[in-house]
Amino acid sequence: MNPAYIWLILAFVLMAAEIVGTDFFLLFLGSAALVTAIVTFVAGDLSFSAQCIIFGVLALIMVAVWLVRHTRTKGGADSAYSPNAGVDSLNGTETEVAEVGSDGSFKIVVKDSVCLAESGGNETFAVGDRVRIVSIDPKTSRPVVRKV
Protein backbone atom coordinates (compact mmCIF):
# COMPACT_ATOMS: atom_id res chain seq x y z
CA MET A 1 0.00 0.00 0.00
CA ASN A 2 1.26 3.44 -0.92
CA PRO A 3 2.07 5.46 2.24
CA ALA A 4 0.23 8.44 0.73
CA TYR A 5 -3.05 6.59 1.27
CA ILE A 6 -2.25 6.20 4.97
CA TRP A 7 -1.73 9.97 5.22
CA LEU A 8 -5.00 10.53 3.32
CA ILE A 9 -6.84 8.27 5.78
CA LEU A 10 -5.27 10.13 8.72
CA ALA A 11 -6.29 13.47 7.16
CA PHE A 12 -9.84 12.22 6.67
CA VAL A 13 -10.08 10.94 10.26
CA LEU A 14 -8.74 14.21 11.72
CA MET A 15 -11.04 16.36 9.60
CA ALA A 16 -14.04 14.15 10.37
CA ALA A 17 -13.22 14.38 14.09
CA GLU A 18 -13.34 18.17 13.74
CA ILE A 19 -17.11 17.87 13.35
CA VAL A 20 -17.22 17.13 17.09
CA GLY A 21 -14.80 19.94 18.00
CA THR A 22 -15.39 23.67 17.77
CA ASP A 23 -11.98 25.34 17.55
CA PHE A 24 -10.81 24.06 14.13
CA PHE A 25 -7.66 22.66 15.79
CA LEU A 26 -8.01 19.19 14.23
CA LEU A 27 -8.78 20.77 10.87
CA PHE A 28 -5.28 22.27 10.79
CA LEU A 29 -3.68 18.93 11.74
CA GLY A 30 -5.79 17.20 9.09
CA SER A 31 -4.59 19.77 6.57
CA ALA A 32 -0.98 18.98 7.52
CA ALA A 33 -1.69 15.26 6.96
CA LEU A 34 -3.32 16.05 3.60
CA VAL A 35 -0.32 18.09 2.40
CA THR A 36 1.98 15.29 3.61
CA ALA A 37 -0.07 12.81 1.55
CA ILE A 38 0.28 14.98 -1.55
CA VAL A 39 4.04 15.40 -1.04
CA THR A 40 4.43 11.64 -0.45
CA PHE A 41 2.42 10.84 -3.57
CA VAL A 42 4.36 13.30 -5.77
CA ALA A 43 7.81 12.48 -4.37
CA GLY A 44 7.19 8.76 -4.53
CA ASP A 45 10.09 7.20 -2.65
CA LEU A 46 10.22 9.02 0.70
CA SER A 47 11.26 7.23 3.85
CA PHE A 48 8.81 7.04 6.72
CA SER A 49 11.11 9.26 8.78
CA ALA A 50 11.06 11.96 6.10
CA GLN A 51 7.27 11.75 5.90
CA CYS A 52 6.99 12.15 9.69
CA ILE A 53 9.34 15.14 9.61
CA ILE A 54 7.27 16.76 6.84
CA PHE A 55 4.08 16.14 8.84
CA GLY A 56 5.67 17.44 12.05
CA VAL A 57 6.93 20.65 10.46
CA LEU A 58 3.60 21.26 8.70
CA ALA A 59 1.68 20.50 11.91
CA LEU A 60 3.78 23.00 13.87
CA ILE A 61 3.23 25.67 11.22
CA MET A 62 -0.51 24.95 11.03
CA VAL A 63 -0.88 24.95 14.82
CA ALA A 64 0.97 28.29 14.97
CA VAL A 65 -1.51 29.64 12.40
CA TRP A 66 -4.37 28.25 14.51
CA LEU A 67 -2.99 29.89 17.66
CA VAL A 68 -2.69 33.28 15.94
CA ARG A 69 -6.22 32.98 14.56
CA HIS A 70 -7.61 31.75 17.89
CA THR A 71 -6.05 34.51 19.99
CA ARG A 72 -7.07 37.26 17.57
CA THR A 73 -10.71 36.23 17.54
CA LYS A 74 -10.84 36.06 21.35
CA GLY A 75 -9.78 39.69 21.76
CA GLY A 76 -11.17 41.26 18.60
CA ALA A 77 -13.50 44.21 18.18
CA ASP A 78 -16.52 42.06 19.06
CA SER A 79 -14.98 40.62 22.23
CA ALA A 80 -17.77 42.16 24.34
CA TYR A 81 -20.33 40.12 22.41
CA SER A 82 -20.68 36.55 23.59
CA PRO A 83 -23.18 34.38 21.70
CA ASN A 84 -23.43 32.11 24.73
CA ALA A 85 -24.21 34.89 27.21
CA GLY A 86 -27.89 33.95 27.16
CA VAL A 87 -31.01 35.92 26.55
CA ASP A 88 -30.56 37.91 29.76
CA SER A 89 -27.84 39.88 27.98
CA LEU A 90 -30.61 41.46 25.88
CA ASN A 91 -32.09 43.38 28.84
CA GLY A 92 -31.96 47.12 28.15
CA THR A 93 -31.60 46.68 24.39
CA GLU A 94 -33.60 49.18 22.35
CA THR A 95 -35.16 47.99 19.12
CA GLU A 96 -38.29 48.42 17.03
CA VAL A 97 -41.51 46.56 16.37
CA ALA A 98 -41.24 44.75 13.05
CA GLU A 99 -44.70 43.23 12.72
CA VAL A 100 -48.06 43.30 14.52
CA GLY A 101 -50.51 40.41 14.25
CA SER A 102 -54.30 40.68 14.14
CA ASP A 103 -54.51 39.05 17.58
CA GLY A 104 -52.29 41.73 19.14
CA SER A 105 -49.12 39.66 19.06
CA PHE A 106 -46.04 41.40 17.73
CA LYS A 107 -42.50 40.74 16.61
CA ILE A 108 -39.36 42.77 17.27
CA VAL A 109 -35.96 42.93 15.63
CA VAL A 110 -33.17 41.63 17.91
CA LYS A 111 -29.58 41.52 16.59
CA ASP A 112 -30.65 41.06 12.95
CA SER A 113 -33.30 38.46 13.87
CA VAL A 114 -37.05 38.78 14.24
CA CYS A 115 -38.69 37.19 17.28
CA LEU A 116 -42.02 37.19 19.11
CA ALA A 117 -42.22 39.51 22.11
CA GLU A 118 -44.62 40.27 24.92
CA SER A 119 -45.90 43.56 26.29
CA GLY A 120 -44.71 44.67 29.70
CA GLY A 121 -48.11 46.21 30.40
CA ASN A 122 -51.36 46.86 28.59
CA GLU A 123 -49.63 48.73 25.78
CA THR A 124 -50.51 48.29 22.15
CA PHE A 125 -47.83 48.54 19.50
CA ALA A 126 -47.59 49.58 15.87
CA VAL A 127 -44.96 48.71 13.31
CA GLY A 128 -41.92 50.95 13.79
CA ASP A 129 -42.54 51.75 17.49
CA ARG A 130 -39.31 52.00 19.49
CA VAL A 131 -39.25 49.59 22.44
CA ARG A 132 -36.80 48.54 25.15
CA ILE A 133 -36.41 44.96 26.37
CA VAL A 134 -37.02 45.04 30.12
CA SER A 135 -36.86 41.32 30.92
CA ILE A 136 -37.25 37.83 29.54
CA ASP A 137 -40.39 35.84 30.35
CA PRO A 138 -39.13 32.64 32.03
CA LYS A 139 -42.11 30.58 30.82
CA THR A 140 -41.96 31.47 27.14
CA SER A 141 -38.36 32.78 26.85
CA ARG A 142 -39.74 35.75 24.93
CA PRO A 143 -38.50 39.29 25.48
CA VAL A 144 -40.84 41.53 27.49
CA VAL A 145 -40.81 45.08 26.11
CA ARG A 146 -42.08 48.56 26.92
CA LYS A 147 -42.30 51.64 24.72
CA VAL A 148 -39.34 53.97 24.83
pLDDT value at residue 84: 43
User: Is residue 93 within 8 Å of residue 132, measured between CB atoms?
Assistant: yes
pLDDT in tens, 87-120: 667 788 899 999 888 777 899 988 778 888 888 7
What is the Cα–Cα distance from 24 to 22, expressed in whole angstroms?
A: 6
Helix (H, G, I), strand (E, B) or coil at 108: strand
What is the Cα–Cα distance from 59 to 26, expressed in whole angstroms?
A: 10
The residue extents of the domains of the chain are 3-74, 87-147
Q: Note the CATH architecture for domain 87-147.
A: Beta Barrel (2.40)
Q: What is the mean pLDDT of the chain?
A: 83
pLDDT value at residue 102: 78
Confidence of residue 74 (pLDDT cuts 50, 70, 90): low
